[in-house]
Amino acid sequence: GQNIDQPTEMTATEGAIVQINCTYQTSGFNGLFWYQQHAGEAPTFLSYNVLDGLEEKGRFSSFLSRSKGYSYLLLKELQMKDSASYLCAVMDSNYQLIWGAGTKLIIKP
Amino acid sequence: GAVVSQHPSRVICKSGTSVKIECRSLDFQATTMFWYRQFPKQSLMLMATSNEGSKATYEQGVEKDKFLINHASLTLSTLTVTSAHPEDSSFYICSAFVPGQGAGETQYFGPGTRLLVL
């Protein structure tokens, strides 16, 4: 079967760095997405990785290792507004998105 | 960036009534749109893929006669929840891929519709 695993919840301190991991097993691979979802809102796109390596975009970076079926989202200089759920999703060989359950990130002052 | 709108944002209805949710791509044409449902503290669940000019493709376990999808134009898809029941209360979200985004096509989501069936 296909599955995406990511931690249910993480806590970090304002100004610090946090890494949210995602491992996946899917039938085929056409890219991995990270989305941010604030409570009661729809997800918003953060990043897309299809090749191995690190993609940096401001305070957020996303890493992919296809051989390991592994990705992480790195958030630097955490701000209170970063408190949200972070969803990992993989596009399989049928171009369907397989979604992880999301990681709820709690930022403390 | 690309914009996907949804209407209404929130709806409360009585059990047994039907509710229509509209999803529009405002500045691009979307031949394919997706309808998701999300229950509290759970991930997104794909319900169906809406294809312009043809029948929607439903995921396993989703009743196509209960969740009617119409994709009448390249900018509009509608989801009608027929004879809604309290267990249909959920957050419904539509999305569309925006082609030609360079480094991978990205999926943009509508703001979602929160349905409460009493």
* Residue-level pLDDT at B105: 59
- A97 interface with B at CB cutoff 8 Å: yes
Ranking A49-53, A83-87, A97-101, B35-39 by mean pLDDT, the lowest is A97-101
Give the residue among B83, B91, B88, B98 at the shortest CA–CA distance from B6.
B91
Look at B43 and A48 and tell me if their CB atoms are within 8 Å: no
Local confidence pLDDT in tens for the 118 residues of chain B: 668 999 999 999 999 999 999 999 998 888 889 999 998 878 889 999 988 888 899 999 999 999 999 998 889 999 999 999 999 999 999 998 776 654 455 778 899 999 999 9
Strands B10-13 and B113-117: parallel
pLDDT in tens, B67-100: 999 998 889 999 999 999 999 999 999 998 776 6
Of A31, A42, A99, the CB nearest to B109: A42
Q: Does A106 touch chain B (CB under 8 A)?
A: no
- The pLDDT score that the predictor gives to residue B99 is 65
CB A30 within 8 A of CB A91: yes
Residue A100 and residue A89 in contact, taking contact as beta carbons nearer than 8 Å? yes
Asked if A66 and A79 touch (Cβ cutoff 8 Å), the reply is: no
Assign 3-class secondary structure to B16-55: CCCEEEEEEECCCCCCEEEEEEECCCCCCEEEEEEECCCC
Distance CA B52, CA B32 (A): 6
Question: A2-15 burial, b for 16+ CB within 10 Å, e for fewer?
Answer: eebebeeebebeee
| pLDDT for residue A91 is more than 90 | no
Residues of A whose CB is below 8 A from B112? 41-42
How high is the pLDDT of residue A30?
87
Cα dihedral A67, A92, A9, A37, rounded to 10, equals 130
Instruction: Give residue A95's pLDDT.
Output: 74
Task: Return the C-alpha torsion angle B19, B33, A35, A73, nearest 10.
Answer: 150
B93–A102 C-beta distance less than 8 A? no
Q: What are φ and ψ of residue A89, in 5° steps?
A: -140, 140
- The predicted model gives A56-64 an average pLDDT of 95
- pLDDT surpasses 80 at A94: no
Find the CB nearest B104 among A31, A42, A87: A31
- What's residue B104's pLDDT? 52
Length of chain B, in residues? 118
For residue A37, what are the CA distances in angstroms to A86, B41, B48, B79? 6, 11, 21, 22
Average pLDDT over residues A11-20: 98
Which residues make Cβ contacts (< 8 Å) with residue A29, sequence separation at least 6? A66, A90, A91, A92, A93
Contact B9, B115 (CB under 8 A): no
State mean pLDDT over A35-58.
91
Chain A residues touching B109 at Cβ < 8 A: 42-44
Residue B103's pLDDT is: 45
Q: Which residue of A has its CA nearest to B103?
A: A48
Q: Is A41 on the interface with B (CB under 8 A)?
A: yes
- B44 near A CB under 8 A: yes
pLDDT confidence bin for A40, thresholds 50/70/90: confident
